Homo-oligomer: A and B are copies of this chain.
Amino acid sequence: MLSKVENKVKILVVEDNKSIIEGLEYLLKKEGFETQIVYSKKQAIDYIKNDNYDMFLLDVELPDGTGFDICKYIKEVTNKPIIFITARTEEANIVYGLDIGADDYITKPFRNNELISRIRCVLRRYPEITESKNIISCKNIKVDLKKAKVYKDSEEICLTSLEYKILLMFLNNPNTLITRGEILEKIWDIDGNFVNDNTLSVYIKRLREKLSDNNSKEHQLIQTVRGMGYMLKK
């Protein structure tokens, strides 16, 4: 199966209270975020080291330390939004949390809507995060997923909807061989009734035509791998 490049905002949640986690994970997923939940300071720092998150929700009290420690660590290595989740009793210290670089805080128990709107509000202050999620690009071709528009060197080019789907399939799997079968299956599969095999060739030809102004073989974004399929060269 082909992998899919995720274009979601990725949030790391550090929280050790199981009953909060359950609702939280469901909520965030539903709202279109990608989440990773960890339970301790140690684990959190581990995950941060090994992965890239766009944003952090940190509980203050953790079994092996405080969210403040994690916050300081995050601010050392990157500049991404941080929201603290605090018990009401910790409210007094939260000024400290904001001092060391957090963007907001929310006290438990919180209403789901409030959390989500705080998250979105904070994200608005980091426009580069959401913007980067709506654009896929390769070489001089850029796709704005939100507007479903395609640009060649910042000049818009018009693709039909099938051409667009095929292009996305390539952009989501750069440097990966995609067989004709896989494309036919994904784009045309209506209960096994594939389209004429040649149709795909026609689409590839048109896509190339539109994407490239230099139709020498080596300059094609979409390379054919004879006898196997096609591949987008990143």
Contacts and interface: CB of A to CB of B under 8 A. Distances in A.
A24 to B, nearest CB: 13
Interface residues of A, number: 41
A76 interface: no
Nearest to A160: B227
Contact of A121 (B18, B36, B104): B36
Given A50-B125, A125-B51, A147 B39 contact: no
A78 to B, nearest CB: 17
A50 B226 CA distance: 42
Contacts of A104: 38, 43
A227 B95 contact: no
A146 B98 contact: no
Given A161-B226, A162-B227, A228-B161, A64 B95 contact: yes
Contact of A228 (B32, B95, B148, B175): B148
Interface string A146-160: 111000000000001
A48 to B, nearest CB: 11
A116 interface: no
Nearest to A146: B176
Nearest to A64: B95
A107 to B, nearest CB: 8
Contacts of A36: 121
13 contacts: A16-B95, A36-B121, A38-B104, A43-B98, A43-B104, A63-B95, A146-B177, A147-B176, A148-B177, A148-B225, A161-B228, A162-B227, A164-B228
